[in-house]
Amino acid sequence: MSSYQAIPYWALEKACEAIGRKVRNYDQMGEDNPLRWSIEQHALTIAKYEASPFLSAGKFHLGNTVLKTRGSQWRGGIVGFYSTSLTPIGYAVESATEKGSVQIYPEAALEAWEVE
């Protein structure tokens, strides 16, 4: 791991899992490997958001897959969070079919989606 960043092991495991890698593969990567850097950045983001008191009340976490329950359809993974005066807990959801396309929804509009 980079000496300047303290990354919790649980976050590193989640980051590796999200891209289909094993932690042992990460441990074998050289310090200058761009994939190692990417995994570390993802792990730091996971650690930051999952440790947030705002999220402890939420149903979903980074990487969870969800679907929109009413109106137009949207399925994908949680990639971010938001909070407003009208929406105390909301999520940014990246589409499972259109990579890079993101929509935001309040927690009440989403339910867990088990990817087959």
DSSP secondary structure letters along 6-75: ---HHHHHHHHHHTT--HHHHHTS-TT-HHHHHHHHHHHHHHHHHT-HHHHT-S--TT-EEEE-SSS--E
Indicate the pTM of the whole model.
Answer: 0.56
CATH topology of domain 54-112: SH3 type barrels. (2.30.30)
Judge whether residue 102 has pLDDT over 80. yes
Q: Report the pLDDT value the prediction gives residue 76, as an integer from 0 to 100.
A: 93
Q: Average pLDDT for residues 13-33, to the nearest whole number?
A: 75
Question: Among 6-15, 30-39, 67-76, 87-96, which is the least confidently predicted range?
Answer: 6-15
Predicted confidence (pLDDT) per residue in 48-97, tens digit:
766 665 556 688 888 889 999 988 999 999 888 888 888 888 899 999 99
Catalytic residue among 14, 26, 78, 105: 105
Catalytic residue among 59, 68, 82, 89: 68
pLDDT confidence of 5, banded at 50, 70, 90?
low
Whether 49 is a known active-site residue: answer: no
pLDDT at 106 over 60: yes
Q: Which residue among the candidates 59, 82, 89, 104 is catalytic per the annotation? A: 104
CA dist list (Å): 80 to 2, 11, 30, 47, 94: 25, 16, 29, 13, 9
In which residue ranges of the chain is CATH 2.30.30.60 found? 54-112
**Which of 73, 113, 111, 74 lies closest to 94, judged by CA?**
74
- Angle formed at CA 81 by CA 78 and CA 85, multiple of 5 degrees: 140
